[in-house]
């Protein structure tokens, strides 16, 4: 998920605390895992790097490691932030006509995870870890002449300072698009 060696340096968008607060507004206070994120654009796509901390699980006694439910929540938060920042800055193909108001309106009801797969390589410390996610493709589709939607392929990875690692892929569907 790193840029090719011959790629020219690209501008990154440093953490935006105000945007992060708004993106995480739908989450319960004890489920706001994303602490900050930086967005890096590239050729109509974008990726984000985030810093996370889970002080205690929102649904189970402490397991001592990042688990699949928390991975999914962390993915959602970083993905929402990446899409919001990309809309704000005009970074992602397929979202050129979106405004932040469009994003806020579509954030919960219309951004769907169609497929989600994660691989746990080594246990990740949930108290202090980093992660990144990347849009690999975004395409507008209208199957059988039905309502158009945006289909996106993404990849993600989480790691901690002690070699813990989890990675995976997710397919997104943005329905009821403007």
| Residuewise pLDDT in 10s, the chain (178 residues) | 544 444 445 689 999 999 999 999 999 999 999 999 999 999 989 999 999 999 988 877 777 789 999 999 999 999 999 999 999 999 999 999 999 999 999 999 999 999 999 999 999 999 999 999 999 999 999 888 889 999 999 999 999 999 999 999 999 999 998 7
pTM to 2 decimals? 0.92
Report how far residue 24's alpha carbon sits from residue 27's, in angstroms, rounded to the nearest whole number.
6
11, part of any domain: no
DSSP secondary structure code for residue 147 in this structure: -
CATH number at residue 75: 3.10.129.30
Q: Where in the sequence is the domain holding 66, given as residue range(s)?
A: 17-174
2, part of any domain: no
Give Rg (Cα) of the chain: 16
Give burial (CB, 10 Å; 0-12/13-18/19+) of 160. buried
Report how far residue 146's alpha carbon sits from residue 176's, in angstroms, rounded to the nearest whole number.
11
155, part of any domain: yes
């Amino acid at each position: 998920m790193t840029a090719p060696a011959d790629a020219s340096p690209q501008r990154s968008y440093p953490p935006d605390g105000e945007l992060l607060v708004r993106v995480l507004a739908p989450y319960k206070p004890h489920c706001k895992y994303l602490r900050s994120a930086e967005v890096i654009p590239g050729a109509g796509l974008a990726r984000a790097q985030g810093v996370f901390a889970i002080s205690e699980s929102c649904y189970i006694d402490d397991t001592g490691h990042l688990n699949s439910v928390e991975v999914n929540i962390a993915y959602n938060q970083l993905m929402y932030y990446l899409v919001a920042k990309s809309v704000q800055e005009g970074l992602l193909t397929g979202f050129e006509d979106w405004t932040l108001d469009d994003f806020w309106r579509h954030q919960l009801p219309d951004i769907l995870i169609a497929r989600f797969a994660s691989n746990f390589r080594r246990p990740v410390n949930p108290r202090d870890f980093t992660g990144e996610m990347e849009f690999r493709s975004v395409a507008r589709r209208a199957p059988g002449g039905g309502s158009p939607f945006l289909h996106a392929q993404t990849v993600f990875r989480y790691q901690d300072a002690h070699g813990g690692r989890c990675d995976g892929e997710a397919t997104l569907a943005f329905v009821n698009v403007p």
